[in-house]
Amino acid sequence: MKAYHFLKEDMTSGYGNEPAWQVGEERTIKGKLVMCGHGYHSSPSWYDALGYAPGNMACIVEVSGKILKDTDKQVSSKRKLIAAIDAEKVLRTWACDCAERALKKANVKDKRSWNAIKVARLYNEGKATKQELAAARGAARDARDAARGAAWAAWDARGAARDASDAARDAARGAAWAAYAAALATARATARAARAARDAAGDARDAARAARDKETQWQLKRLDKLMNELFKEVQ
């Protein structure tokens, strides 16, 4: 079964003391397979494999023998290394593509965030230094922190508004003791509003989940395209 895996730059795994792998080599492990514990691991897609990558050496592998599967990985008793290549440039390009898409969707105007992507692309082509890359990354981090501070300020403002709303509600309850019938009608209206708000929140949550899943699919397909192009170049 074809699968995907990443190794460190010296072709060793992220864990254990095994010697470096060679293209065309197949290894077999004895004993009971344990997910994340014992056996040769791999993933069904480049996207899934990237989540466990100890380095930039992208590997196409063939797994066989006994196999235990999870949603984003599997562990097998046999694994053969079919092809391997340093994918650092491709992974950086993919990261820039994802970041650029996210900034566009969020309508980010801060030039520091955009400049970080620009410098990363230049670095990928040997036209920027590590120092310039680090400086651009630091500036983008400052921009992110500033945006996060603004978000927290908005959150605090919302909390203040909620407190004001609670105070108003308590005052309304006090007045309601003098007009029970009116208070009962208000409570029913409030309950209906609360149910409507809850349903709207559920819809928003579902929409957010759908948007996240859609974005994940875009990222997965984009990474597949870039990696397939990379391996075609070396075949």
Residue 59 has pLDDT above 70, yes or no: yes
- 135, two tokens: 């400086």
Mean pLDDT on 175-192: 54
Instruction: Report yes or no on 233 lying in a domain.
Output: no
- For 233, the 3-state DSSP assignment is helix
Give pLDDT, residue 172: 43
Do 97 and 157 fall into the same domain? yes
Distance CA 41, CA 4 (A): 9
The more confidently predicted of residues 109 and 162 is: 109
Same domain assignment for residues 68 and 26: yes
Q: One-letter amino acid identity for 75? A: V
| pLDDT for the residue numbered 223 | 95
What's the mean pLDDT when you consider all of the chain? 83
Concatenated DSSP letters for 139-190? HHHHHHHHHHHHHHHHHHHHHHHHHHHHHHHHHHHHHHTT-HHHHHHHHHHH
The answer to whether residues 82 and 110 belong to one domain is no
Give me the torsion for CA of 138, 143, 144, 150, rounded to 10°.
Answer: 150
184 located within any domain? no
Same-domain status, 95 and 166 = yes
Q: What percentage of the chain reaches a pLDDT higher than 70?
A: 74
Tell me: do 14 and 72 sit in the same domain: yes
Classify residue 232: in a domain, yes or no.
no
Asked if residue 151 belongs to a domain, the reply is yes
Domain boundary among 159, 174, 189: 174
User: What's the pLDDT tens digit per position in 77-87?
Assistant: 999 999 999 99
- Position 167 scores a pLDDT of 42
- Does the predicted TM-score (pTM) go above 0.75? no
d(CA 2, CA 186): 63
What pLDDT, in 10s, does the model give residues 9-54? 999 998 878 899 999 999 999 999 999 999 999 999 999 999 999 9
CB neighbours of residue 214 within 10 Å: 10
Last residue of a domain, which of 86, 121, 151? 86
Domain annotation covers residue 153: yes
Is there a single domain that holds both residue 36 and residue 98?
no
pLDDT at 108 over 50: yes
- From 15, 16, 26, select the one nearest 59 (Cα to Cα): 26
Rg (CA), the chain: 26
What mean pLDDT do residues 150-161 have? 50
Q: Which among 129, 144, 174 is the end of a domain? A: 174
Do 73 and 100 lie in one domain? The reply is no
Count of the separate structural domains present in the chain: 2
Q: Do the domain assignments include residue 16?
A: yes
pLDDT at position 127: 94
Shared domain for 12 and 81, answered yes or no, is yes
> Residue 201 — pLDDT band, cuts 50, 70, 90?
low
Q: What pLDDT shows up at residue 13? A: 92
Residues 56 and 26 in one domain: yes
Domain that holds residue 34: 2-86
Instruction: Please tell me the distance from the alpha carbon of residue 90 to that of residue 214, in angstroms, as a whole number.
Output: 22
Supply the pLDDT for residue 142: 85
Question: How do the residues of the chain divide into helix, strand and coil, expressed in percent and rounded to 5?
Answer: 60, 15, 25
| Band of pLDDT at residue 169, cut at 50, 70 and 90 | very low
Residue 76 lies in a domain: yes
The reply to whether 59 and 96 lie within a common domain is no
Question: What pLDDT sits at residue 233?
Answer: 76
The single residue listed with the structure tokens 């605090």 is 156
Q: Is residue 98 part of a domain?
A: yes
pLDDT at site 147: 67
